[in-house]
Amino acid sequence: MIRNFNLLFVTMFGLGKIKKIPGTIGSLATLLILYLLFHVVNVPTNIILITLIIIFFYSFFAVAAYIKYNKNKDPGEIIIDEFIGQSIPIYLYEISHAIEKTSEEAVIFYGICFILFRYFDIIKPFPVNYFDKNFKNSFGVIMDDVCAGLYVVLSLVFFMILKNYFI
């Protein structure tokens, strides 16, 4: 039973089993889930944070159990790491400045986060590539996407600083 749950968990309920671009599909699903939680259902940010933390820590166990007997230690069907990495800039955006964001603003920002996250996840600049190449376990699978998510945050902060400097 736990094995079946782990399979559903690491593949985001089977989305990772889609043959073409599973990581991109996982990232898009993450945007949809978080948009619904923040802007439709209006779940408190503390509840979302606690849930994201639980998902983060459980994913190490679930991914390790899933890849234990696989030759490929980072199979494409594992997309819970995309969920975690994509959640970082979205969550930080939603809690920033303690002001309510409009749905239109959120859609634009989510789109920018999606494009930047996929860029960093595919290009894999340092340290994303470091985790990807040197840790052939659940730690490497998850941390390369965490780093990609943090690169999105750094990029957005950089652009905000530039915007404030020149405007």
Taking the C-alpha atoms of residue 9 and residue 34, their distance in angstroms, rounded to an integer, is 17
H helices present in 37-79, as ranges: 45-67
What would the two tokens of residue 45 be?
């940010």
pLDDT at 1: 74
pLDDT at 69: 77
Taking the C-alpha atoms of residue 133 and residue 101, their distance in angstroms, rounded to an integer, is 38
pLDDT in tens, the chain (167 residues): 777 898 899 999 999 999 899 999 999 999 999 999 999 999 999 999 999 999 999 999 999 998 887 777 778 889 999 999 999 999 999 998 767 778 889 999 999 999 999 999 999 888 888 888 888 888 989 999 999 999 999 999 999 888 888 87
pLDDT at 93: 93
What does the radius of gyration of the chain's CA atoms come to, in whole angstroms? 16
pLDDT at 163: 83
